[in-house]
Structure 1
């Protein structure tokens, strides 16, 4: 290679290095591609193998040179430009050529081949084909048909490639990537086949750990990268010297794959990427030395051609001639060897000794031992076996490496598992301590829960009573369900009767239509007979015959049109009948729902009236009781005034009684306010229910009006159907009369029939429109019915709940009243005994006026009414106080009235005893 001073010579440290081309830093990507890679694309399409790879230290621009920015037209590198250029050349070549292009993309990461198009393939093996060319077994190959397909494959593979951040490069490649393009072409006319492979290699850069700052996994990656690059340097050195018999291709997976590119059948271009910085001087010198050595390697290139049958035949003849000539030479040499061996051994040895002393001109080849064909085949088989053993050993090595990796991964997993178990143990220990504290807290909570359970047991008894009431309601619902099933059976019977009636109507319409068709056929046959007679009668008159034929053809066409129209009418009539049946079913269901809703509304109105009457009665009783309570308060005030005037000794006790009375009055006022609020709430609820009932009545009236409208529409449809039947009968009668008439009468009747058919079609269209309107209105009616049904259900549930709550409250109040009565009676009996003993010891001279106090019945009524109206828990306590205060006074007052005329002193004693007991209570 000639050296040029400016660009081809590159000096570093005073030493010149000679290369084919040197690019300055401002060189564009297009210039690099045109110089380095464009010719290789043409060679690959001509059937040669090609390789382009970039070599250099890390962050020197290898990936930028090979890939660049893939989707930028100015900055894209060699690989995307080659993808575009290959298809540009293919489009400009002969039309008879057929191309098959396959691409594969893999990387060598940690000295393992990893498929970038299928990440599940992590450790692929290298094998040799029949021509002893290495290839990656099991690598994914994809067929491409455009540059876009190639770019999609590159994008997919690049996304799976290993990249890391170092101190020298933000996007440092941590693996050697190889993009392989396999092109096969065939000439359809000559059947000539060519194949070429193009290896596009982006090597990872050699790096110093002190500069890159690699640690951990990045350090392991750097070790493997430097190891594989040193193996590549050893191969280049061995090939550059040319004296070594062994080239260490098998030291690395990369050199094994690129064996054909380095010293084999391949056109190889190496791009040396050097850093111009003084900081990287040593690495730049090493890179330049690598390029200098690689430039001395010479590859022997041949076209990868698959021969045709004729070419194979010619080659066979040539080889046959060669073997024939070689056999003759071998025979001659064997004869010469025998002649030498037949001579005297002494002279033979002497001749050999003399040959050592003095050089003799050799006119023939040295006498080698001839090899037989069997020995040759044995040697070839032995060589093949040895190569096969080498491949097997490679597979075993790969398997062992995979096993070692799996074991390492398992060890890592076990370490992680151990660490996780330790963390879990610590968490469990913390949870255990926390649970112990929670357990202590839970013990206290258990005590509280036990108390709550006791309360729940009491509530359970109450709920059991409620369950019994619910069971009764369920029985009522089952009875209602039985009634509904009975009504459903009646509806099904009505439906079967309607279906029989519709079947009868269908049979009748089918008979009418069959009669009409038969009559039309008879009309056609009559017309044909008349035509035949006309031909016989007017056989001599040509003009009349032609007129008759024209008339007959017109009649036939008109009869066909009438038959078609009659068929259309039959189909439309069947559709209308089906629609009418559906409307009848919907009307019957609507009527049933309306009747059910009317019955429910009546029952609800009756129940509401009863409730209003009860409410009024309760209000009247409440008012009367309040009046009686007011009277009692007035009497109590009068009595207290008289007692204050006459008894100054008991002022303190009376003041306490007044304070107690004021408290009771305040409580009664609060009860009155609560009662008024509850009454207003009940009145609001009654007004709301009345409003809902009014709305239901309005909806019911609207449904009745819609039902009447549907019935009227149904009657109209029936009348129109009857009119249609009458018209059909008229048409049949007219057709019967037309059979005996002449041609003019038949024309008039046919015209009349056409008019009738037009009218029938108009009527049918009107019916279809009416039916569509009815279908549109039916969903609205169904929605309204559903809404009314839901409202009725809501009201029924509300009434049930009100009944149940009223029953429960009544039972509770009755039990409380009974209990209060028993307590009061027991206390009265005890107090009567006590007052009799006190009367003997005390004497007073003042006679109080008699008091009008309520009896037991009025007091129980007051208590029951107040409990029923107010629904306040503490009313029971207040009522107990009232009854305990009023009943003793009533008892003592009655005793004083009976004994007033007998003994005034004893009466005074009894009244004062009652007052003192009032104070104590």
Structure 2
């Protein structure tokens, strides 16, 4: 590097115009400009390198702030330009502006164009390599804007203890368009939000880094320069911006990093020994720009509104403190081998001169201490000594001095001179050899040192990885144990479920058998009901037939009664001696009527029993339906439970396999890392043989671990297959039960429908019998009432005609003979007798009614012969 030189940080101040909201609010324009480098705010003057008023153009700002830095960077210096100020004060407008507008573009696009314009106008022997990086500091984390996957980069130091962002994307560019495309890409990934004070508020500090390296192909001289273009996020008051939630967290981090920047500026301005660069990542990256090897320009952006007067004063005070900071800058040059050799010779000559001076002064001091007096001409004369050194330099820069200094003005002979020259040439040759050897040893030492650092870093990272893997292994082992416990619980639950399933299967079988028995009983009842239905149908048909015949008989009886009345009125009554035979017929009729009545009661009783049996059967069917529904519900519940447990078991087994594989891989990695660590230690201690033995032992240990895990994995897989077979068997049994259940359900539905149909028919028949017999009974009662009335009329008629002697009824045989003698009476007798017999046989009338009807008919049907005894 070239000799360092001090320079102060340049501070430029720029005021933006009042915006629309400030004009509508009626804010006053606070700053008063007295000169190009002076501004008065609140009655206090502030002096900077340059003050820009509100009407200053972007080009004017660039020419004053950044144009000179472009030339400095191309000459091998480092440069930094960053904008500072409160939110909505115009920082991003100053640094970026409208990137593709020739008039509205800011410092960054203009500086890119100027860099390439300078390069195009420079010597053709110069080769340039330009790299750009673009990253932001968001929530105190460095995020690469050209690769959004890099979200938390770290800050390291190079061999010269200069901070840099490790792992940041660097792109080689060859034209301004490529640089602008890179800026557009990074800007699209930057964090921006809307606040009450700014519609496009930057929520992060962005840093655009341009690294320029140049090489002269003729002189082989290499220069490098870095240019940091920084757009800081603005400080803000939450009460004014209305930030909340994520915006509030961003505002806190922004204010914190800006406060750290202010602390660094204050420490540098006050000259304190400790500067808190490490308080934030932003100040850490800008460490070389603040008090280091860099030409720095700060553009402080201010608001002219009275609403923001306090923030404007704070910004101006920051700029005044920063203006007092001094940086030490030097050219970043890489010397060639010849330049290094010349520099080495120069430094060596300086060293020789100083050694001669020290020796001369020591000899003079010893003489004074020994009590000798040193003449003035022998005393040390700095100017004369320098002249002698220059004279010696003119004679091949002889650096060989004896232990005692040569006397000033010493004359050398030719032989001595030749001898000195030969010895000097020999010494130069030895010196060159030693220099080569020293260079080789230095390179080897640097290489070994770098290797040692790499090995130490690798060892440290390996140890960290080992610790992390050990912790991960412990965690996985704990999770594995927990998983084993869970699997054990699941297996136990499955066993319990299998036992419960067997019990429920047995219950289902019992219920199935019971259902089958009930079905058989129901079939029997159904057959009995069918027979009863057939009997009932026959009775119904007979009843209808008898109704017709009774109707015919009653009509014939009425006709016969009419004929009897005629016969009685026209013939004399004769007494008959066969009264005993009529009594016998009455007795037979009564017995038959009683028998028919008992049979009817028996049929009614049997019908009631069948109805009660049917009700019980319906009740049992309802109970069976309820039990079947409960069984179906339990079966569905068990099916769902089996399904969920099966899925859970499969998930557990899959998770277990993954954990086992992870444990195996981690164990292998752990053993490998342990082996690597041991091998590194052995290499550092030059114990290669023992390291090989350890490696063999570790490989054997790895093999043993692998075999053990393979065995364990095989046993677990066998166990899993057994469980899967058990689950398959349970599913098959469940499927069979479901099919049997469906079959029983279908049979039950059929039986239920059959029973309902038969019940309906039985009720309809009973209702029809009841409803059909009622009008018959009413009609028979009316007919009997008519017959009873006729009897009364006949009795009254007979009472008026006949006196009351002792009468005898004529027997049917004699009456028949008499009827034949009278011309057809026998026919009437036969009809009436048959009618009475049919009425008694089929019990159409009640016994008392039959008796009354019989007495009436007997007293009127047969011709009565009245004889006096």
- Assess same fold via TM > 0.5: no
Q: Structure 2-normalised TM-score?
A: 0.39
Q: Structure 1-normalised TM-score?
A: 0.37
**Which of structures 1 and 2 has the bigger CA Rg?**
2
Tell me which protein shows more helix as a share of its residues: 1
Higher RCO, Cα 8 Å, sep 6+:
2
